Structure 1
Amino acid sequence: MAACHIACWREAYRGLVPDHVLDAFDLDHRAANWERTARKHSGRIVVAESGTTIAGFTHYGPPRDEPAVAERELQALYIRAEWYGSGLARALMDAVLEPDRSCSLWVFEGNPRARAFYAKYGFVPDGTTRAERFATATEIRMVRR
């Protein structure tokens, strides 16, 4: 998962996130973060594999925003570039979204591809923004009622 996560960031965010940030990601550190997340996570993590390769993943859980604006938060959805357009992202979304539960997520403001994808699932910007922790990019919150 850690290797997939790092690769996805580098593939999707080059030009949006400074190169020195993307190049500094450490596999062991990211793996330790995922181990902690898996142990403590009260939501669901779904991993998509192709043979022995992790092609993508998603996870959601209780909202981290205070006050909460939805019942749950989609905390990650990452797909390796090789699988863009394959339907894999749609399959992962279908695995975690429930029609009768509201959901929020954070996405880079400057990532029109991701924003358009989430809009297909009924997510709309709610006007809230924040600075992303690792980069100089701005994130917007999108909510699906």
Structure 2
Amino acid sequence: MIIRHATVCDVDAIAAVHVASWDAAKEGLDLPTRRTIEVRRERWAAYLAAGEGTLQVADVAWILGFIAYGPSRDADRRGEAEIYTLYVAPEAWGKGVGSALMEGVSRDTTVSLWVAERNVRAQAFYARHGFTPDGSREGGLHLPVVRLTRDGR
């Protein structure tokens, strides 16, 4: 498996992984269904064009997952990093793809991320990578999210 920077040629595959992973993760979690491949394709093409962060993919002749990260967007976390999103194709869950993607995020800086409060699987994954809740919570009734952080060394 190769972890590499995404290109515009990867947008269709990234969108497909995003939607498949969201759909699989939301089962039993009562999460909103508002992700379509077309909307995700447009979003990731715009993200790449803007060049505001890093987008990497796990590639084994097809895209197994992706991670987007960059400077924190939270006012109280300026100067730190943020993982904007991390998705792995459901058929690759538990096979080290997410962990491989996490390797690109520096351990030397403090990193935060937001995760659905009811997504215990994702929270357990991030806990294995040193993330802990910092007490911040956002969102309404439909998708409350909590912030997790990992201090830099």
RMSD: 1.8
SS in 2 for 1:92: helix
Alpha-carbon separation, structure 2, partners of 1:17 and 1:58? 24
Query: Structure 1 stretches (4+) deviating beyond 4 angstroms?
Result: none
1:20-59 deviations in Å (ceiling 9; x for gaps) = x42x4332222111111111132211111232x3211001
Identity percentage over the alignment? 37
Q: Pairwise mapping of residues 29-68 of structure 1 onto structure 2 (< 5 A)? A: 29-51=39-61, 53-68=62-77
C-alpha separation between the residues in 1 aligned to 2:110 and 2:132? 12
Does 1:119 pair with 2:132?
no
Cα distance in 2 for residues equivalent to 1:117 and 1:57:
15
Letter aligned with residue 140 of structure 1:
V
Q: Which ranges of structure 2 fall in alignment gaps of 5 or more residues?
A: 1-13
1:72 lines up with 2:78 in the alignment: no
Out of 104, 114, 129, the residue aligned to residue 106 of structure 1 is 114
Shift of 1:64: 1.0
- The size of the alignment, in residue pairs, is 138
- When normalised by structure 2's length, the TM-score is 0.82
Is residue 138 of structure 1 aligned with residue 144 of structure 2?
A: yes
> Runs of 5+ in structure 1 lacking a partner?
none
Deviates more, 1:83-92 or 1:41-50: 41-50
Give, in angstroms, the shift of residue 14 of structure 1: 2.0
User: Does the alignment pair 1:5 with 2:6?
Assistant: no
